[in-house]
Amino acid sequence: MKRLLKILKWTGIVLVLLVLGICAAVYFMYPAKYKVPYPEIAANNDSAVIAHGKYLVYATAHCAECHAFTRESFNDYKPGDMPPLTGGMPFNFPGAVAYARNLTPDNETGIGKYTDKELARIIRYGVKPNDEAIMPFMMYGDLNDQDLTAIVSYLRSVAPVKKQIPENEIGFLMKGVILFFMKPFMPTGEFTKPIEADTSVAYGKYLAHAVSGCVSCHTKMDEITGELIGPLFGGGGKTPSVTEEPGVWVLSPNLTPDPETGKMYDWSFELFKNRFKQGRTVKESIMPWEMFQNYSDDDLKAVYKYLQSIPAVKNEVKEVVIRE
């Protein structure tokens, strides 16, 4: 008995010291600093570049889904609506609330305080000028310089709107999770070279991976680190409902051409295109349907061709919405 008590005593001491050490680490080390390069990006006044940036923001890169809408305004959306990018949408997590920022070029409350390179660095790496990481929601590390330039150019061209967004509210435990597990999304290096915008499989891959982020939802992901851990586009990725109802989750379908479990195995391109144009049919879906309704037919064709070309994965996803 004495030996057991001694073991329990020292175990307790070790656990207390471990907890105190972790708390001290969070207190002194949060927020983490990241040294990443500044992209050589400068805003362009060319009308074609600005127009392409607008298309990216309100369609393929779907920036507006978080920075221009509220969860209520999704219900009133009509294809082609382009509300201002004034931010404010809250994202609630256990022990934290994060807010989408104001992306208009207001000098006080928006992006006017950033240089082009600083803004490009935030978009590509998720790292602010003070080297602190933003919440790792955006996955644009592989966006090429042309598209990054177009987005920055468009954001500079819109009218500034003064709208103060609340600061993120991060509890102590969530700070520990962010510090030890959540890292900024770094470029993979796969899409560094310019790629022609056409209907090819190669361009479809670029859109599905680097621009629209399809791969991040339709591939199983570690819920803490955000690391992709399942077969690409094999489905089963679990995300909270966009409605933020407690205990409601969305499972992504298998998009590979598996004849038994692939969601769109026998889909024609017309069916694929029409599904996008139809918009949101599952209110809980995390997919940015409002923006994807604005996808061009050529870009949809490229994505369709790419998804038809990837290896088939046998993974049946029976229910899209689950309640726990």
Judgement on whether residues 140 and 218 belong to the same structural domain of the protein: no
The 10s digit of each residue's pLDDT in 193-240 is 889 999 999 999 999 999 999 999 999 887 666 678 889 999 998 888
Q: Is 153 among the domain residues?
A: yes
**C-alpha–C-alpha distance, residues 132 and 122, integer Å:** 10
* Window from 27-36, 94-103, 160-169, 202-211 with minimum mean pLDDT: 27-36
Could you say which of 123, 156, 187 is where a domain stops? 187
- Compare 142 and 243 and report the one with higher pLDDT: 142
Query: Are the C-beta atoms of residues 307 and 255 closer than 8 Å to each other?
Result: yes
Judgement on whether residues 235 and 255 belong to the same structural domain of the protein: yes
Q: What is the DSSP secondary structure assignment for residue 253, as one 8-state letter?
A: P
Using alpha carbons, list the distances in angstroms from residue 136 to 22, 70, 229, 270: 22, 20, 17, 35
Q: What is the pLDDT of residue 12?
A: 59
Q: What is the pLDDT of residue 311?
A: 96
H or E element at residue 272? helix 269-278
State the pLDDT confidence band at 79, using cuts at 50, 70 and 90: confident
Two tokens at 225? Answer: 């680190």
Does residue 23 register a pLDDT over 80? no
Judgement on whether residues 175 and 211 belong to the same structural domain of the protein: no
State the pLDDT confidence band at 150, using cuts at 50, 70 and 90: very high
Percent of the chain predicted with pLDDT > 90: 63
Q: How far is CA 167 from the centre of its chain?
A: 20
Q: Is 105 among the domain residues?
A: yes
- Compare 80 and 65 and report the one with higher pLDDT: 65
Q: Is 24 among the domain residues?
A: no
Q: Is 134 among the domain residues?
A: yes
Token match 């708390």: residue?
Answer: 23
The 10s digit of each residue's pLDDT in 104-141 is 999 999 999 999 999 999 999 999 999 998 887 888 99
* All residues at 6 or more sequence positions from 256 whose CB lies less than 8 Å from its CB, including other chains: 231, 232, 233, 234, 235, 262, 307, 310, 311, 312, 313
Q: Look at the chain and report how many structural domains it folds into.
A: 2
Q: Is 3 among the domain residues?
A: no
Using alpha carbons, list the distances in angstroms from residue 256 to 40, 160, 264, 307: 36, 43, 8, 6
Judgement on whether residues 183 and 199 belong to the same structural domain of the protein: no
Report the half-sphere exposure of 43 (CA within 13 A, side-chain side). 19
Domain range enclosing 45:
33-187
Token match 């996008």: residue?
Answer: 276
Q: Is 316 among the domain residues?
A: yes
* Window from 3-17, 153-167, 250-264 with minimum mean pLDDT: 3-17
Percent of the chain predicted with pLDDT > 70: 90
Give just the sign of the alpha carbon dihedral 297, 298, 304, 307: negative
The model's pTM is 0.91
State the pLDDT confidence band at 13, using cuts at 50, 70 and 90: low
**C-alpha–C-alpha distance, residues 206 and 197, integer Å:** 10
* All residues at 6 or more sequence positions from 155 whose CB lies less than 8 Å from its CB, including other chains: 53, 57, 85, 103, 104, 105, 111, 119
Q: What is the pLDDT of residue 38?
A: 96
Judgement on whether residues 121 and 222 belong to the same structural domain of the protein: no
Q: What is the DSSP secondary structure assignment for residue 90, as one 8-state letter?
A: E
Q: What are phi and psi of 238, to 5 degrees?
A: -105, 120
Q: Is 1 among the domain residues?
A: no
Judgement on whether residues 153 and 227 belong to the same structural domain of the protein: no
Q: How far is CA 307 from the centre of its chain?
A: 20
Judgement on whether residues 49 and 128 belong to the same structural domain of the protein: yes
Q: What is the pLDDT of residue 273?
A: 97
Q: What is the pLDDT of residue 15?
A: 61
Q: What is the pLDDT of residue 25?
A: 60
Could you say which of 134, 164, 187 is where a domain stops? 187
State the pLDDT confidence band at 308, using cuts at 50, 70 and 90: very high
Could you say which of 160, 187, 214 is where a domain stops? 187
Mean pLDDT (the chain, rounded) = 89
Does residue 21 register a pLDDT over 80? no
Q: What is the DSSP secondary structure assignment for residue 51, as one 8-state letter?
A: H
Judgement on whether residues 123 and 205 belong to the same structural domain of the protein: no
